[in-house]
Amino acid sequence: MLRSGQFSDLTLVCQGKEFKIHKVVACPQSPVFSAAVSGEFKESQTGVIEIELFDSETVRRMVEFLYTGNYDCNQPQEQNTDTLTHVRVNAIADYYGIHRLTLLANQKIQQVYQDKWNAKAFLASTREALDNTGDKKLHSVMALLAAQHLEELMASSKMADLVGDFAAEVLRYHALKFEATKQEQHQKAAVLATTQAAEAKTARVIANIDRLVTTMCDREYCRNTACEMEFGCHIEKLAGDEPNYVLRCSYCRCRH
Ligand SMILES: [Zn+2]
């Protein structure tokens, strides 16, 4: 139906391209299209809606979504990883009130940066988002990503263009403080690891001595069946970094 334009009763015109669509598909998904074709507007007479704020590729993606619930699924990977494209889709969806399409574009943006972070693309896409879409959810997505990559972004002068000089200065100090806190945590973790290793070593030495004392107290005869003398022993220190002792039978020298 989308490809053939059969029974089309609504045409979108953008940059000289025509998209022949159906009111029954478009209107339930977009309160803006719905109002345009059912009110006293020129569009309701002509069945033509001129789109000037967006480029024809963005309109094509919106139309694809209206009919399939997705867009650019079979396109090459490069196109799907261009977040600027998705920001533009979000903007047209926000403009025409196609809520589910704003969410889909946002998901795609998050997925792209989750797979491969790219500061330069992020800065350009955020600029586009702030200038051209009113979708607060997308602004929030971009703000969270910025916070997660703050140190790297602060190195770019574009970040100050984006948030303003004063906010950039505040963020720079915050990033420095964050870095200092991180180093402090590393040091604390190193001290803790050393302490824990020392405690474990002490526990091993005490367990070793405990075992010797228990054996000396409890054993009556040598465990060696060839010996079986009344148990008498001496203590031998084993080679190694930490204290480790064994008992040896004084007669047959077997280990206990
Ligand atoms: Zn013995």
In the chain, where the domains are located: 10-163, 175-249
Name the band, by pLDDT with cuts 50, 70 and 90, for residue 176: confident
Here the tokens at position 101 are 């399409």
Ligand 1 centroid, distance to 227 Cα (angstroms): 5
Task: Give the pLDDT of residue 1.
Answer: 58
Q: How far apart are CA 47 and CA 38, in angstroms?
A: 10
Distance 205 CA to ligand 1 centre (A): 25
ipTM of the complex: 0.93
| Alpha-carbon gap, residue 38 to 32, rounded angstroms | 10
pLDDT tens, position by position, 210-220: 999 999 999 99
What CATH number has the domain spanning 10-163?
Answer: 3.30.710.10
C-alpha of residue 35 to centroid of ligand 1, in Å: 102
Helix (H, G, I), strand (E, B) or coil at 236: strand
Q: What's the gap in Å between 214 CA and the centre of ligand 1?
A: 17
Assess whether pLDDT exceeds 90 at residue 93.
yes
CB 245 within 8 A of CB 208: yes
DSSP codes joined into one string, 191-203: HHHHHHHHHHHHH
Strand bridging mode 48-50 / 10-14: parallel
pLDDT at 51: 96
* pLDDT value, residue 45: 82
Helices and strands (DSSP H and E) totals, the chain: 12, 5
Quick one: DSSP state of residue 216?
A: H
pLDDT (0 to 100) of residue 81: 83
Distance CA 87, CA 125 (A): 7
Q: CA–CA separation, 233 vs 224, rounded Å? A: 13
Q: Which pLDDT value is given to residue 89?
A: 98
Tell me how far the alpha carbon of residue 243 lies from the centroid of ligand 1, in angstroms.
24
User: Separation of 203 CA from ligand 1 center, angstroms?
Assistant: 29
Answer whether residue 3 shows pLDDT above 70. Answer: no
Q: How far away, in angstroms, is 206 Cα from ligand 1 center?
A: 25
Q: Is 225 helix (H, G, I), strand (E, B) or coil?
A: coil
Question: What is the arithmetic mean of pLDDT over 122-144?
Answer: 96
Q: Is 80 exceeded by the pLDDT of residue 80? A: no
| DSSP state letters, 117-167 | --HHHHHHHHHHHHHH---HHHHHHHHHHHHHTHHHHHTSHHHHHHH-HHH
